[in-house]
A and B are shown apart, each in its own frame.
Chain A
Amino acid sequence: MIYLDNSATTHPHEEVLRSYQKVADVYYANPSSVHRFGSEVERLLQQSRTQAAQLFGVHSREVIFTSGGTEGNNMAIKGIAFMHQNRGKHMITSSVEHPSVMEAFRALESLGFEVTYLPVDSEGKVQPSDVSDAMRKDTILVSIMSVNNELGTIQPIREIGQIVRPFPKAFFHVDHVQGLGKIDLPIKEYAIDLCTVSGHKIHGLKGTGALIVQNNVSLFPLLHGGGQELEARAGTENLAGNVAFVKALRLLLEKKEDKRAHMSSLRNQLWHDLIENQQVVINSPKNGAPHILNFSVPGYRPEVMIHALGEEDIFISTKSACSSKEPDVSAILQACGLNSDRTTSALRVSFSYENTEDELRTFVQTLNSKIEKLQATMGR
């Protein structure tokens, strides 16, 4: 099997699974319980928070464990909206965000909030000057992803942070689910108030992740109850998941430069090999994130390509798995202003540091032969 859909999810690292199993098996007490077993487990919970904080370069008060990216994004966006609506009801995001951001904003619009969706250029990039122009006195939130999930475009987060910083009423949220480990994102230095990360994109487990919330930022909780997670997210803690998330994070950051260099070289190789086929058009920007390469084979329905490759045990995707239920057109590529030939035929290859050059070579050969075979029915 050649698995090239790592932006959808990744294979859990065996050490992550081992940590999860051990904590679930041994430290199963409720950390809120008064007895000694509970206090031991509470200590482990505190340690997992401290460790996560260290890895993100923040204070342990600033880490809220979540169930993953969708929850983190919803918690940040709705949490800010509900908590600070008396300061203003205007918010800014881009037109290429993940559905968990996009739909959260749409839902808030239906409650009377006003949202500006910034345009992007042909590479999917937000222009900092557009953010400047959109900022208003009543803007309470700017939410921009660090790395686009379909194209791998890296957004100018540092510049946007500098634009938002002087507005005392506005918070800056970054959906860092695709960027985690792939690019550096110094949270304090970039003036990021809220940052969403997820475990299962980094060889961790589904249902794990965190929202980093700077100390001075207050959120309206989505879940009320026993006051867990620093009053921000009630519910008995998923301690095994939290520990597993920290483990995945630590493994990810080990030799991170080597891993990135490996992925970059895979991406370069793939880029080179793909463009030899005249029918392939690359959609990703040259200087995108090291793990995503998006391209179109105009005329060929992506779903058919996916299934054809699947027959050979090769797994890639069309667009974000989270929006794959819609018809073939990619809203992200549409927002980039690409023509319908390309927006309706986009494929995404996303790798991890575990993939090899050989796998990618096999992938390109298989792709080429499938294109040839399908020529009769789909090619122009």
Chain B
Amino acid sequence: MNFDHILIRYGEMALKGKNRRSFEQKLQRNLIRKLKAYPATKIKKTKDRMYVLLNGEDPHEVMEICRKVFGIHSLSFAVKVEKSEEQLKEAVLLAFNDAKGARTFKISAKRSDKEFPIPSQELNPLLGGHILQNTEGVTVDVHHPDVEIKVEVRNDAAYITAQDYPGAGGLPVGTTGQSLLMLSGGIDSPVAGYLTMKRGVDLEAIHFHSPPYTSERSKQKVIDLAEQLSNYGNSIKVHVVPFTEIQQKIAREMPEGYSMTITRRMMMRLSEKLADQRGILSLTTGESLGQVASQTMESMSAINDVTNYPIIRPLVAMDKLEIIDVSRKIDTYGISIRPYEDCCTVFVPKAPKTKPTKENANYYESSVDFSQDLDKALAETYTIELQDGKRLHQEDEFKDLF
């Protein structure tokens, strides 16, 4: 006997009144896409739950995938069996064994089929007794059990549900609109992207590439990060902006102490223009207050001055170590720490202003016209698309080798 379906509970999205239907549909569609590699699976929706019918696919592999999908509060393995004492016994033992290391348990039996000869008060000790007989050092605890096993005897069959696994939480990706993530190669921006996706946001990303100051490897790193992020949501388009000429012009014509601030302002302007072109209503950054010179209150104010788009900063109040924890969890850390230069580290002034003012920045910028440079960079921007951990539309030059 093995589990034949996975029960999915929604959590927060259950509260969303009228939107609920579209939320459910989104979740269902996201699940279907993520489970493409398991073609026998089917998603079934009932009033307030969703079920993945396994139809012979590996329960644990499917569970692993579902646990990464946003919009799910918790999940449990479940099995549908014939209404016989033997089958019920086997099923509760299977359900108990799923909770590795559990020492205490509780059985909650419900009998909606009154034809079934054993009443629920008798089912609990009967099935619990079977677990006790087949395990060592395990006890019943009806108040604080390590695992609660639910048994429902219905008209068509009996259903046994094992322990709860926490889901990824959040909202189904695609239910709360789009944002443009400013993606560098560092640790923070992928985490910011992940957390934004968790709130149901569909991401596109913008990356500034400055060859030959930054290498192919540093661009590849960003693509790999986006590829990893795409495992958690829908497809991600990475827009790569050629940024060399603008950086050179800033280095040449702007005062050194302000070059960092002005570089950021240019990036912000380009991001806003691109978002506008794409019909995206907000920007997302990995800024965390006080972390580096560009992320002081003064810097943020001076940089933010060039746009009135909402900027989502999920990390703004997080500590570096907390950010690193998330980045390890989502498997971007190993990519982020590859040692290649990014465009922000190439032209770092020796002493960047930590307290720039927008007045000064505006004053310096007013002496030089950057508008054509920005338009040119945007015109030469190219796009790479990633989905479910793979790059789309790419000739795989190594394919025949493997």
Contact = CB atoms under 8 A, between A and B. Distances in A.
Ranked nearest first, the 9 interchain pairs of A and B with the lowest CB-CB distance are A39-B217, A19-B401, A39-B216, A243-B401, A246-B402, A51-B402, A44-B398, A36-B216, A47-B398
B220 interface: yes
Contacts of A206: none
Contacts of B331: 59
A34 interface: yes
A184 to B, nearest CB: 13
A137 interface: no
Contacts of B215: 34, 36, 39
A48 B402 contact: yes
A19 B402 contact: yes
B401 A22 contact: yes
B33 to A, nearest CB: 19
B402 A43 contact: no
A51 to B, nearest CB: 5
Interface of A: 19, 22-23, 34, 36, 39-40, 42-44, 47-48, 51, 59, 61, 243, 246-247, 250
Contacts of B117: none
Interface in B363-402: 398, 400-402
Contacts of B401: 19, 22-23, 44, 243, 247
17 contacts: A19-B402, A22-B401, A23-B401, A34-B215, A36-B215, A36-B216, A39-B215, A39-B217, A39-B220, A40-B216, A43-B220, A47-B398, A48-B402, A51-B402, A243-B401, A247-B401, A247-B402
Interface residues of B, number: 10
Interface in B257-295: none
B39 interface: no
Contacts of A250: 402
Greatest chain A CB density within 10 A among B215, B220, B331, B401 is at B401
A48 B398 CA distance: 9
Contacts of A247: 401-402
Nearest to B212: A36
Given A39-B216, A243-B402, 5 more contacts: A36-B215, A39-B217, A42-B217, A43-B220, A250-B402
B334 interface: yes
Nearest to A188: B60
Contacts of B217: 39, 42
Contacts of B402: 19, 47-48, 51, 243, 246-247, 250
B386 to A, nearest CB: 14
Contacts of A34: 215
Interface string B192-225: 0000000000000000000000011100100000
A250 B402 CA distance: 7
Query: Which label, helix, strand, loop or mixed, suits the secondary structure of the A interface?
Result: helix
B223 to A, nearest CB: 10
A43 B223 CA distance: 12
B388 to A, nearest CB: 14
Nearest to B219: A39
A51 B398 CA distance: 11
Contacts of B398: 43-44, 47
Contacts of A61: 334
Contacts of B220: 39, 43
A29 to B, nearest CB: 13
A45 to B, nearest CB: 10
A223 B401 CA distance: 28
Contacts of A36: 215-216
B240 to A, nearest CB: 16
Contacts of B216: 36, 39-40
A42 B340 CA distance: 13
A188 to B, nearest CB: 10
Nearest to B389: A50
B232 to A, nearest CB: 16
A247 B400 CA distance: 9
A59 B335 CA distance: 13
A250 B400 CA distance: 12
A55 to B, nearest CB: 10
Contacts of A42: 217
Nearest to B60: A189
Nearest to A48: B402
A359 to B, nearest CB: 31
Contacts of A59: 331
A47 B400 CA distance: 12
A246 B398 CA distance: 12
A258 B284 CA distance: 52
Interface string B233-274: 000000000000000000000000000000000000000000
A40 B398 CA distance: 10
Most A CB contacts (10 A, CB to CB) among B217, B220, B398 go to B398
Interface string B330-370: 01001000000000000000000000000000000000000
A43 B224 CA distance: 11
A23 B400 CA distance: 11
Which of B216, B217, B334, B402: most chain A Cβ within 10 A? B402
A202 B278 CA distance: 51
Nearest to A165: B100
A262 to B, nearest CB: 24
A109 B71 CA distance: 55
A19 B402 CA distance: 7
A358 B263 CA distance: 75
B140 to A, nearest CB: 24
A22 B215 CA distance: 26
A78 B401 CA distance: 33
A25 B211 CA distance: 28
Interface in B3-27: none
Nearest to A40: B216
A19 B217 CA distance: 24
Nearest to A166: B101
B58 to A, nearest CB: 10
A215 to B, nearest CB: 10
A39 B221 CA distance: 11
B67 to A, nearest CB: 15
Contacts of A48: 402
B62 to A, nearest CB: 14
